[in-house]
Amino acid sequence: MARSKKNKKSYRPEGEIRRSQLLMGYGPGAMIDLLNDAVLIGGLDYWRYEAPPKHGVEEIKEPRLTAKLVEVMRGLGMNPAVNLELRPPPECNYDEATPRQGIQALEFPRFFKCQRCNSIAHATEFEEGSRGRTHQCGPGYPKKPAPAVPVRFVAVCEDGHINDWPWDVWCHRAGGKPRCDAPDIKLREGASGDISEIRVVCENCGANPKLAQALIEVLRPKCSGARPWLGDHDVAAQPCENKARLLVRTATNGYFAQSLSALWLPLHDDAIAEAVAANWATLGTVTTVAVLQVLREHTPQLRATLLEAWGDEAVLAAIERRREGADKALPPLDEAEYDAFVTAPVEQPAVQPPLGCRFFARTMRPSAEGLPHGIGRVVLVPKLREVRAQFGFSRLEAAIPRADGSFGDDAKIAPLALEPKWLPAIEINGEGLFLQFDEDSLTAWEARESVRARNDHLLTGFRRWAAQRHGAVEFRGARYYMLHTLSHLLMTAIALECGYAASSIRERIYCKEPSRGNPGKAGILLSTGTPGSEGTLGGLVEQGRYLRHHLRRAFDLGTLCSGDPVCALHQPELEFDDRSTEGAACHSCVYIPETSCESFNRFLDRGLVFPTIGQAEQLAFFGEPP
């Protein structure tokens, strides 16, 4: 981040953030504490790139992801550009900082608190020095200025709006007194700093309500509709009928980044698209693989430009995408990825990923004892490239997408720019381990009476929870609950031996119940990666060869929790609490870091995976140790 200061020849950034962090929780609209200040990250219109005009700004190309982002953003009422681009965040050299490059940030909150006399006032009433702002306390206090720090409370609402808490107006209103002519507001905190011990005091008129009263509905002020990360109030603010909520500036629910990601797949290689475009006069009328094979065999130009490694199906798919338009022909994200894994060739001895390869997946040859019951295929993915892009954020509550990545019409997601022309994205190179489940075993398990009854109980709890939320969230069924819970338990088990922390492993759940003409999907991808170009070291892929061992460890982790019997006997259909979307699941057994979970630790029930206390054995997909 770079913030310009006039009359200075050298520029020093106010702080530093890794480019990958900007997409994980420090993007536009996020609050960040600096050494002597606090700031709000500016919107995309305030991100500066200093690039030679000849080369332009670097762009990340992933057509499937871009098409999905445009669809999702339009569904949320945003106005993305038709030719939406994905760009990595600007890179700024700390020693050669310039206001022409980097990310501009707004000083926020704008109210400060004196560390000596407890006065709170707007930043303009404090003196600014090299070590932050100071306050001259006045009569009765030492003449030496006292340090001042940003007030640790702000006002937010469900729509993502944020502003300073109206200290003066609220103090008198909550204190039951008219606003005085010369308010002198002080924030007096108790020894613990707990909100129940904090009073907002006006020294002039004596109003002194407890700050805890700000939690009372009738005493909450109306939201101002301010969106300062997008620009001035006159331009960026919007009407809002919500009541503002008091929020600790550093609270974890102050910012939830909303992002989408897609895996790069060979089916959509840019090189194939370019080769098809160069030979469009010949290939434009091709509609079948048979015709394409004849042309490739008898046309020297095609033999030279369409490499043998590119299969006829991949080339024909590229022809259809160009003929019909990318948005119409590109398959959905999850379907294309799932198909790429389940059709991966069987591994061959001594065959390694080629240099520069971005996706390399091979189906593992089972050992002599075969695969564990219920597992249909294990795919090792030593090379994996994921493109992750942020398109918005939410406050107070994380917005959970539907299975297809879309959101309900009333989802509360704030934009990154007034009219997004591009979105911040990063490329993550790493590795993965994919498990495909046996569809016959899953169908037989889902038909059990105990599983159907548990599905109904989970649905009842889900509906209660969904009724209190914004955005239409779909119930994903017992199949998803089982896959999702097993994914968490496997991540915990594998992290003990693969060399990566549990927080660095991410999940992707592929789940779709079978229907007429559709066999359904059931798969788990565990992956890890780094924004670096070299990727990872292969520790996660190698664990696929010891899957039975890890399933047994997961069995031990899932059958008994330190919170049992309370955890195992939780009844979502009867107990209306924060765990209404979960069955047997808690922080002691199933929950993982939320950065690793695609559903923010929702939709979990270990009773559907392994036998647990108080539950019928027929409920578990793995009734016995694998």
pLDDT in tens, 397-414: 888 887 777 777 778 899
Same-domain check for residues 240 and 125 = yes
Q: What is the CA radius of gyration of the chain?
A: 28
43 with 117, same domain: the answer is no
Cβ–Cβ < 8 Å for 405, 74: no
Say yes or no: 223 and 124 in one domain: yes
92 and 232 in contact (C-beta within 8 Å)? Answer: no
- Boundary residue ending a domain (224, 252, 280): 252
**Burial zone of 50 (CB within 10 Å; 0-12 exposed, 13-18 middle, 19+ buried):** middle
97 assigned to some structural domain: yes
- Residue 40 is assigned to a structural domain of this protein: yes
Q: Is residue 186 included in any domain, yes or no? A: yes
* Together in a domain, 154 and 144: yes
Share of the chain above pLDDT 90, in %: 30
Distance CA 460, CA 618 (A): 21
Residue 17 lies in a domain: yes
Specify if 38 maps to a domain.
yes
Please report, for residues 74, 461, 466, 480, 581, the alpha-carbon distance to residue 572 in angstroms, rounded to integers and kept in the order given.
35, 5, 13, 16, 7
pLDDT of residue 533: 58
Instruction: Judge if 201 and 150 occupy the same domain.
Output: yes
Which token pair is 418?
Answer: 């007034």
Task: Examine the pLDDT at 269 and tell me if it is beyond 80.
Answer: no
Residues 105, 177, single domain; the answer is no
pLDDT (mean) for 456-482: 86
Per the structure, the complete domain to which residue 16 belongs is given by 1-49+89-109
CA torsion sign, 247 to 248 to 253 to 256? positive
How far apart CA 356 and CA 361 sit, in angstroms, is 14
pLDDT tens figures, 535-579: 567 788 888 899 999 999 999 999 999 988 999 998 888 877 778
Q: Say yes or no: 96 and 157 in one domain.
A: no
SS3 223: coil
For 171, the token pair is 């103090």
Res. 437 pLDDT band, cuts 50 70 90: very high
* Segment 228-256, tens digit of pLDDT: 999 888 888 889 999 999 999 888 889 99
* pLDDT, mean of residues 103-114: 90
Among 77, 109, 141, residue at a domain's last position: 109
Q: Compute the average pLDDT of residues 306-321.
A: 78
- Domain boundary residue among 237, 252, 267? 252
Q: Residue 619 falls within a domain, yes or no?
A: no
| One domain for residues 143 and 99 | no
Q: Does the structure show a pLDDT above 50 at 328?
A: no
CA distance 91 to 279: 38
Q: Identify the CA nearest to 327 among candidates 68, 61, 59, 60.
A: 68
Asked whether residue 462 is domain-assigned, the answer is no
**Residue 98 shares a structural domain with residue 125:** no
Confidence check: pLDDT of 266 > 90:
no
439: exposed, middle or buried (C-beta count within 10 Å: 0-12, 13-18, 19+)?
Answer: middle
Does residue 352 form part of some domain?
no
**216 & 186 share domain:** yes
Q: Are residues 117 and 104 in the same domain?
A: no
- Number of structural domains in the chain: 2
For 130, other C-beta atoms within 10 Å of its C-beta total 5
Alpha-helical segments (H) within 155-299:
167-174, 233-236, 270-278, 280-283, 289-298
Crossing angle for the helix pair 477-495 and 449-466, to the nearest 10 degrees: 90
Q: How far is it, in rounded angstroms, from Cα 258 to Cα 401? A: 9
Q: Is residue 167 within 8 Å of 185, Cβ to Cβ?
A: yes
**13 and 132 inside one domain:** no
Beta-strand relationship, 245-248 and 153-156: antiparallel
